[in-house]
Amino acid sequence: MTERLPRVLAVDDEPNILRALNRSLYGAVELVTAVGPEEGLRTLESDPAFDIVLSDMRMPGMDGVAFLQCVAQRWPGTVRILLTGMGDTGSSDAARASGAIHRVLAKPCPADELKLVITEAMRRAGA
pLDDT at 3: 76
pLDDT at 107: 85
> Which CATH code is given to the segment(s) 7-125?
3.40.50.2300
pLDDT at 1: 47
Residues of the chain with pLDDT under 70: 1-2, 86-95, 126-127
pLDDT at 92: 63
pTM listed for this prediction: 0.90
pLDDT at 94: 65
pLDDT at 123: 86
pLDDT at 121: 87
Return the number of other C-beta atoms located less than 10 Å from residue 86's C-beta. 7
